A and B are shown apart, each in its own frame.
Chain A
Amino acid sequence: MTTSSDKPFKDDRRTFLKSATAVGISLGLPSTDARSEMSSGNEAQATAVDSPDRDGYTPEQRKRYFVDAPGSDFMVRVLASLGIEYIAVNPGASFRGLHESLINSSDSAKPQIITCLHEEQAVAFAHGYAKVTGKPMAVACHGTVGFQHASMAVYNAWCDKVPILILGGNHRDAASRPFPVLWDHSAQDPVAAIRDATKWDDQPASLQHFAESTVRAYRVAITPPMGPVAIAIDSDLQERPVDGDPQIPRLSRVLPLQGDPGAVHEAAAQLVSAEAPVIVVERYAGSQEGINRLVELAELLQAVVIDRGARMNFPNTHYLNQTFIQAQHLAQADVILGLELTDVWGLIQQGRDRSEPPVTIRTARADVRVITIGTADLFVKSNYQNFQRYSCADIPISADAQATLPALIEAVRRLMTPQRSSTNTPRAARLRDSGNRMRAALSTEARYAWNARPVSTARLCMEIWEQIKSKDWALTSPTAFKASWPNKLWAMERHYQYIGDEGGYGIGYGCPASVGAGLGHRAHGRLAVNIQGDGDLMYAPGALWTAVHHQIPLLTVMHNNAAYMQETMLIQAMALQRRRGVTQDKVKVGTEIDNPRIDFAALAKSMGMWSAGPIDDPRELREVLRRAVAVVAGGEPALVDVLCQPR
């Protein structure tokens, strides 16, 4: 059995073709002999039934009491064939068969169990892991209450276009449910609870069906636009002996879709002729190669790059990265190139909050031309509205942006005239100047409230930076609620140094996703850092235990502002609009996380984690962080609780 499933899910076409050649894949062409493309997954089964019993049981007794080759052993072999290294588990009776096989089956390549204390944490864990490693991991959960618990995290992964293989147990046969609880944990359609946030699902009726559907699901998950997939696994199928000789089909990857050559040429022509081109990038780069290509394109055009921060797309040390003065560039742009955007509408206009009637305000030039390259339109569902407001680009190219960039770069080079190239020098000088001024201004802004108590968010981030900047570090948590200070002040240049945010703004992501990301970084010896909101942590504090239990090194620094601060601001705005009850004693009702103040250091300590704090004096931070980093460098997680300013 050969797969290329250990490749990053954002493979470029060249890598893909090489690997496809190596394993002899015939792309998109089904074999005339299906058996020839499958390997036996049932080597262990053949000898069991008729051989003499070691404990003296008769064949009838053996059949009554024992199962020698359970179906779930085969299921584990299917997972191993896909190169899945880990499976995040919150235990449940409906997949007890699979669970036992994961522990005791003989397959040496079987996935390792990661124990999670909630299904939502398990899925978020897999979410963070996939964004670091570039490949999906599996999650196992109950098909009913487990799917329901998992649903918010699945939605985040769906919005964030991250592949996860979710397995949910089910007791499909009503005649095989001897206890009431099994009825409570059974469903006609268990995946219904999460279907709106998955790309594909199935409920296989046989092991052969399971093998084919699981391999199919994996391929669907890693084909852009990527996303979570789900397989309901029947308990009888897991627990009964393997019937027949089911085969595991070979995984073949789908070529990342490249943009239409004519449209790419037209896009290049628009960009070359532009006087103020701007590139806006969101869920684009899946590898360092993707970043390097974008740098090449931006330098060719001398185009400003605005990184919306859903991935690490472009070095923030590069002078063309002018994300933090984006409004002025978008207002002046004559051509905007959007790469893997969700909100195209918002490129050129904005709405107004609390406006009656709704107002749309144009923020870009009337004659701006918009080009988009992305996979968002290739797979759309109806219920959840994360597809954003409809907007028609002038040149919309439905394709994988990273796979399309080589062709776009080539087209731009062909169209570059000496006259056009000569404009790059003065343009570069201007942009270097504005980029330098932006960076200087950000450094200056960070100094305000430098000695404040509670600690300013900028000071917190700079104290962390002092401790990690000489190491191979990676930030695992979102930064939007930390005023994006890490993106403003830290030097982010490598593709793994930042992995974006939740995707769907669903809270409870930060800690488990960071622990999952930390697992991905562990293999590379990187120092993983999680700047953790207090409200977010309390959705999923059990993830700290998972980090300790599995010895996942991760530095967690609490940004503890003792509130759901964004919601506090929302209530404040509502009260002000209604001109009543605007003071803190009112607007913090239901939004503060205080009285009592949560002792996060004690919480972490209770789960066996090294911890310190709470700290509200910035002068104490350096030494405490130094000690915490030393703990993490030694292979263990650590938590430092810091009382911080709201933002």
Chain B
Amino acid sequence: MSAQIGCRPGARRIIARWCVGLRAVSSVSLLVVCSQLTACNVATATDRTGVADGRDTYVRYGCHECHGFEGQGGGAYGGPRIAPQIWPLEAFTAQVRRPRGSPFAMPAYSPTVLDDAELARIYEYLRGISGPPRKNVQSR
């Protein structure tokens, strides 16, 4: 136990700030990204192998760590909600490849580690997620 003293707090503070920043990557900034795109080198939506495969890919690359298994988001120490109102593929791809909009942007998924076909499958998975139940959450 004592061997871990001191290492974790610093690491947590770094990621905490990173994730606080991630929360600031709002849909507003992503819309800006979208509007600025003219072309993207991405796979087309025709490269689809099903939602289940998309979910596997989504999880395999750790997207769920920050955004949840259904893209619902993870708060200040996670990432923003990314489903079901997903952005156009071009904007989505731009954010994954070259994250922007925050001093603590999410890490970049380069084509070397996540190819365009895999990215497209993830996109299809997120696009297929249905909305939440209509009933109100009775908070407070």
| CB neighbours of B138 from chain A (8 A) | 462, 466
User: Separation in Å of the B33 CB from the closest CB of chain A?
Assistant: 18
14 contacts between A and B (CB under 8 A): A353-B18, A353-B21, A446-B139, A449-B68, A452-B70, A458-B137, A483-B75, A490-B139, A491-B139, A505-B16, A568-B62, A575-B113, A587-B62, A647-B66
| Contact pattern, B 107-139, Cβ under 8 Å of A = 1, otherwise 0 | 111101110000000000000000111011111
| Most chain B beta-carbon neighbours within 10 Å: one of A317, A442, A458, A646 | A646
Stretch of B2-10, B45-53, B86-94 with 4 or more beta carbons under 8 angstroms from chain A: B2-10
Q: Which A residue sits closest to B66, measured CB to CB?
A: A569
- Measured between beta carbons, the chain A residues less than 8 angstroms from B108 are 576-577
Taking CB atoms, residues of chain A closer than 8 Å to B136 are 443, 447
A452-B104 in contact given A443-B136, A584-B59 (Cβ < 8 Å): no
Interface string of A386-400 (1 = CB under 8 A from B): 000000000000000
B62 and A647 contacting across the interface, CB-CB below 8 Å: no
* Residues in B whose Cβ lies below 8 Å from that of A480: 16, 76-77
Q: Does B39 contact A (CB under 8 A)?
A: no
- Give the distance in Å from the alpha carbon of A498 to the alpha carbon of B14 in the complex: 25
Q: What 1/0 flags go to A446-482 for Cβ under 8 Å of B?
A: 1111111010111000100110000000000000111
Cβ of A198 under 8 Å from chain B: no
A507 at the interface (CB under 8 A from B): yes
Binding site for A on B (CB under 8 A): 1-2, 4-6, 8-9, 11-19, 21, 23-24, 59-62, 64-66, 68-78, 81, 83, 103-104, 107-110, 112-114, 131-133, 135-140
User: Once the chains are docked, how many angstroms separate the CA of A99 from the CA of B45?
Assistant: 72
Say whether A353 contacts B13, CB under 8 Å.
no
Q: How far is the CA of A508 from the CA of B2 in the complex (A)?
A: 11
Q: Would you call A505 and B103 a contact (CB within 8 A)?
A: no
- Nearest-CB distance from A419 to chain B (Å)? 36
CB distance from B60 to the nearest CB of A (A): 5
For B74, the chain A residues whose CB sits under 8 A away are: 457, 483, 645-647
Q: Which residue of B lies closest to A489 (CB)?
A: B139
| A92 contacts partner chain B, Cβ-Cβ < 8 Å | no
- How far is B133's CA from A354's CA once the two chains are assembled, in angstroms? 39
- Which of A148-156, A514-522, A602-610 has 4 or more CB atoms under 8 Å from chain B? A148-156
Q: Once the chains bind, are B62 and A572 in contact (CB under 8 Å)?
A: yes
Binding site for B on A (CB under 8 A): 118, 120, 148-149, 151-152, 155, 316-317, 327, 346, 350-354, 359, 361, 363, 439, 442-452, 454, 456-458, 462, 465-466, 480-485, 488-491, 504-508, 539, 565-570, 572-573, 575-577, 579-580, 582-584, 587, 645-647
Knowing A480-B77, A576-B107 are in contact, say whether A646-B70 is a contact too (CB < 8 A). Answer: no
The contact of A449 among B18, B72, B112, by CB within 8 Å, is B72
A480-B77, A505-B8 given; A447·B113 CB < 8 A: no
Please state if B17 and A353 are interface contacts (CB–CB under 8 Å).
yes
Contact status B2-A151, CB under 8 Å = yes
Contact A568 B8 (CB under 8 A): no
Chain B residue nearest to A646 in the complex (CB): B65
| Interface contact B137-A446, CB-CB below 8 Å | yes
Residues of B within 8 Å of A148, CB to CB, are 2
Q: Which listed residue, B65, B76, B133, touches A451 by the CB 8 Å rule?
A: B133
**When the two chains form their complex, are residues A353 and B76 in contact, meaning their CB atoms are under 8 A apart?**
no
- The distance from the CB of B133 to the nearest CB of chain A, in whole angstroms, is 5
| List of A residues within 8 angstroms of B132 by Cβ | 444, 447-450
8 Å CB contact of A647 from B8, B11, B68, B135: B68
Given that A353-B17, A566-B15, A572-B107 are known contacts, is A483 also in contact with B139, CB under 8 Å in the complex? Answer: no
Q: Are B59 and A577 in contact (CB under 8 A)?
A: no
- Highest count of chain A CB atoms <10 Å: which of B4, B65, B70, B114: B65
Residue on A nearest B2 in the bound complex, by CB: A148
Answer whether A507 and B8 are a contact pair too, CB < 8 Å, given A446-B139, A483-B78.
yes
Counting chain B CB atoms within 10 Å of each CB, the highest count among A488, A567, A569 belongs to A569
A569 partner residues in chain B, CB cutoff 8 A? 15, 19, 62, 65-66
Given A456, A481, A583, which contacts B62 in the complex, CB threshold below 8 Å?
A583
Residues of B within 8 A of A466 (CB): 138
B139 touches A462 (CB 8 A): yes
CB distance from B88 to the nearest CB of A (A): 20
Instruction: Report yes or no: B77 in contact with A647, Cβ–Cβ below 8 A.
Output: yes
Q: CA A363 – CA B108 in complex, angstroms?
A: 23
Q: Smallest CB–CB gap between B17 and chain A, Å?
A: 7
- Return the 10 tightest CB-CB contacts between A and B, nearest first: A483-B75, A647-B74, A447-B132, A647-B78, A448-B72, A505-B9, A449-B72, A489-B139, A576-B107, A449-B70
Instruction: Collect the chain A residues with CB atoms within 8 Å of residue B73's CB.
Output: 445, 448, 483, 647
Closest B residue to A349 using CB positions: B103
User: A359-B103, A579-B113, A582-B109 in contact; A351/B139 too (CB < 8 A)?
Assistant: no
Query: For A444, what are the chain B residues with a Cβ–Cβ distance below 8 Å?
Result: 132, 137
Q: How far is the CA of A539 from the CA of B2 in the complex (A)?
A: 10
Q: Which residues of B contact A443 (CB under 8 A)?
A: 136-137, 139
Tell me which residues across on chain A come within 8 A of B14, comparing CB atoms: 353, 570
Of A155, A490, A572, which is within 8 A of B65 by CB?
A572
- Name the A residues within 8 Å of B64 (CB-CB): 645-646
A469 to B9, CA, bound (A): 33
Kindly report which residue of chain B lies nearest to residue A355, judged by CB atoms: B103
How far in angstroms is the closest Cβ of chain B from A206? 33
Enumerate chain A residues within 8 angstroms of B71, measured Cβ to Cβ. 448-449
Q: Which of B61, B62, B75 contacts A484 (CB 8 A)?
A: B75
Nearest-neighbor residue (CB-CB) of A446 within chain B:
B137
